[in-house]
Amino acid sequence: MRKEDPAGWSDDYSVGIPEIDEQHKTLFELVNKIHDAISAHQGSAASREVMDQLVEYTRVHFALEQNLMHTGNFPGYKEHCVLHTNLIDEVVSMQEKINSGKVAISFELLHFLRNWLSKHILVEDKQYARYFNTHGHDQFSNWARRSDEAMKKQRKKWWKFW
């Protein structure tokens, strides 16, 4: 558990599943790191690096979320996967525009990323949250253990960034 919640995070974002909340907080932290890089005029290279981390971590997070929804027989599983594909497409296309110099890393980009992240959690992730909170967490315990192991492997890679 981290000492402080990242800026932008509040309990309103909680889906009631600690592992998922931690991952969402990490996504907010990465968006905050882009904010810090812009504010400190660290240049586009630093921001691009964080943007790459954000895309990679988003893929990891979506894969685990999809695993949870599938394992837990969430009825909106397929629709949620389509939303994830669209969200990844959006952020990858933003990343490509940045890398090709068509779009500058700016506060507008941050605004886009914050909206992209918070809207998906508050509107769409909350749907599986409601489902798991009304259907119990029994089927979820095995998944949680496996996801924890998977995240530990990922953290080795991520650790160097923090």
Q: How far, in Å, are 34, 108, 114 from residue 7 at the CA level?
A: 12, 17, 11
Q: Which residue has its beta carbon closest to Fe ion?
A: 125
Query: Which residue in 73, 156, 55 sits closest to 113, CA to CA?
Result: 55
C-alpha dihedral sign at 53, 55, 56, 58:
positive
Q: Does 125 bind Fe ion (CB under 5 A)?
A: yes
# chain residues binding Fe ion, by CB under 5 A: 2
Q: How far, in Å, are 6, 22, 32, 51, 61 from residue 29 at the CA level?
A: 6, 10, 5, 12, 14
Q: Does 19 bind Fe ion (CB under 5 A)?
A: no
Shortest distance (Å) from residue 80 CB to Fe ion: 6
Among the listed ranges 40-48, 65-73, 96-104, 154-162, the one in contact with Fe ion (CB under 5 A) is: 65-73
Q: Identify which of residues 79 and 96 has a Cβ nearer to Fe ion in the complex.
A: 79
Q: Does 29 bind Fe ion (CB under 5 A)?
A: no
Shortest distance (Å) from residue 38 CB to Fe ion: 24
Among the listed ranges 69-77, 88-96, 122-130, 143-151, the one in contact with Fe ion (CB under 5 A) is: 122-130
**Which three-class secondary structure state does DSSP give residue 162?**
coil
CB 30 within 8 A of CB 54: yes
Q: Identify which of residues 28 and 109 has a Cβ nearer to Fe ion in the complex.
A: 28
Shortest distance (Å) from residue 52 CB to Fe ion: 19
User: Which pair of tokens denotes residue 127?
Assistant: 């749907």
Among the listed ranges 50-58, 62-70, 93-101, 107-115, the one in contact with Fe ion (CB under 5 A) is: 62-70
Provide the greatest CA pair distance for the chain: 49
Residues interacting with Fe ion, by CB under 5 A?
65, 125
